[in-house]
Amino acid sequence: MIDPAKFALFVGVSWALILAPGPDMLYVITRGMAHGRRAGIVSAVGVICGILVHTTATAFGVTLIFQTSALAFLMVKYLGAIYLIYLGIKVWQDKNTFSLQPSFAGANSRPLFWQGVMSNVLNPKIAIFFLAFLPQFVDQGSGKVTLQMTILGLTFALFGLCFLVLVGYFAGSVGAWLSNQPRYTKFFRRLSGGTLFVLGARLALTE
């Protein structure tokens, strides 16, 4: 199984990566601020499920497709970029953003979850990251490499879930405050939409 020393190092490095501001954190913040605490938490769960797709693919070697096929990488990359840009434009134009109706929680949680999933699944850069990251902490001599990588991927996802759920909750608290401050809503609606747009453009420009 996994060497204890390597696992301890993996835990430390994982938390350093998770706590560093990045696209996932920005995505969850924008969704939480725009739609409330529940939306922030649901988006966080969706983002982590997207990460689980990549860690599972890494464990079973599927991610090698993106590393060896430029066409596959480009196709997924541009699909992801277009999707994030579309979400950004939608938030920018939606004047009901930051209008946190009580009925929202049950009605729109599912779309937000799947948007979170797809925001990561359609990012081949994450797939390549895990392909480079996870094998460094695998004990090749003990065998069961796939199982070890699966455990490491699940551990990373669990840590990420704990952190992003908190981020989503507190971002939702900010959003709840904004819903009672109409003079600020237009600015933050455009900020949220602009952030998603920038994330999409950033992904599109990834080498």
The confidence score (pLDDT) of residue 107 equals 46
Under the banding of pLDDT at 50, 70 and 90, the label for residue 105 is: very low
d(CA 78, CA 123): 9
Q: What average pLDDT does the segment 93-103 reach?
A: 53
- Using CA atoms, how far residue 190 sits from 94, 95, 101, in Å, is 10, 10, 20
Under the banding of pLDDT at 50, 70 and 90, the label for residue 176 is: low
Q: What average pLDDT does the segment 123-151 reach?
A: 83
d(CA 37, CA 173): 6
d(CA 32, CA 175): 7
SS3 content of the chain, % helix, strand, coil (to 5): 85, 0, 15
Under the banding of pLDDT at 50, 70 and 90, the label for residue 166 is: very high
Q: Indicate whether 186 pLDDT > 60.
A: yes
The confidence score (pLDDT) of residue 196 equals 72
Tokens of 13: 């490095």
Under the banding of pLDDT at 50, 70 and 90, the label for residue 46 is: very high
Q: What average pLDDT does the segment 150-177 reach?
A: 88
Under the banding of pLDDT at 50, 70 and 90, the label for residue 154 is: very high
Q: What average pLDDT does the segment 22-46 reach?
A: 87
What does the mean pLDDT of the chain come to? 80
Q: Indicate whether 141 pLDDT > 80.
A: no
